[in-house]
Amino acid sequence: MSSTTPRKESFEDFYSEVKEIEKRDSVLTPKQQIERLLRPGSTYFNLNPFEVLQVDPEASLDEIKKKYRRLSILVHPDKNIDDSERAQQAFEIINRAWKTLESEDTRKKCLDIYQEAKERTDHMIEQKRKKQRKENRMAEGIPEDDPDKYKHSIYVMTMKLFADMERKRQHLETRDMEERKRKREAEIEQEEQMSFEKEWAKNFEESRQNRVDSWKTFQSGGSKEKKKKKIMGFKPPKPKPESR
């Protein structure tokens, strides 16, 4: 009886493990992977390269590389001719995730985010327990006492931090773009003002001689008119008739 029970438990463990493998592999079908990577909200989900490649943040680079190769084959456009356009998008998402984790610097930044998420989750859990202690409800426990729920809490916090980081990046990019736009508009305005002043000075210089000549002509014309008036205005006296 005692020998049967361990054998039964061993079989059940084996069967559960097989079912888990089947469940995992069922997700790793081309169609499901494409759907996963392009689902609503995927823009933010795909910020997390660990999530994209479905690897544990603490996995080795070799493990990550194996997963990347497997996924890239599954979603490759040549393997999904009936949905090649979406497959190409999914393929590019996987490539970006791999390039992020392949680089030691960017992988470290991602790991730092994961570590911060873990620390924040632990702090949140500690606050919950502190509250329970005050209320004498320690026996109730908290949801995160379950390892799966604890892991999920870290996952949610990790996604939040990646999303926050992306929003900050977009904000800085928008602000930088607006600043560059303002500077360019100021430069254009200054260039236009300089061009106007240069054109005005050029026109002024070109017209200076004309103004001088016009003034001389005017002055000359005025003198002749005065002389003309003097000549025309002079009337010699009429001769007196002879007296006899």
pLDDT in tens, 134-184: 888 888 888 888 899 999 999 999 989 999 988 888 888 888 888 888 888
Retrieve residue 244's tokens. 């006899």
Strand segments (E) across the chain: none
Say whether 80 sits in a helix, a strand or coil.
coil
Query: If pLDDT is split at 50, 70 and 90, which confidence band does 88 have?
Result: very high
Retrieve residue 96's tokens. 């970006």
Query: If pLDDT is split at 50, 70 and 90, which confidence band does 198 have?
Result: confident
Query: If pLDDT is split at 50, 70 and 90, which confidence band does 109 have?
Result: very high
Parse the chain into domains and list their residue ranges.
Answer: 14-102
Which numeric CATH code is attached to 14-102? 1.10.287.110
Distance from C-alpha of 113 to C-alpha of 158, rounded to nearest angstrom: 7
Look at residue 77 in the predicted model and tell me its pLDDT. 95
Q: How many CB atoms lie within 10 A of CB 28?
A: 14
Query: If pLDDT is split at 50, 70 and 90, which confidence band does 64 have?
Result: very high
Calculate what percentage of the chain has a pLDDT beyond 90. 41
- How far apart are the two ends of the chain, measured CA to CA in Å? 188
Look at residue 23 in the predicted model and tell me its pLDDT. 53
pTM: 0.59
Q: How many CB atoms lie within 10 A of CB 51?
A: 20
Instruction: Give, to the nearest 10 degrees, the angle between helix 61-74 and helix 30-38.
Output: 100
Selection from 69, 89, 88 nearest residue 78 by Cα? 88
For 116-144, the pLDDT digits (tens) are 999 999 999 999 989 888 888 888 888 88
Distance from C-alpha of 214 to C-alpha of 155, rounded to nearest angstrom: 87
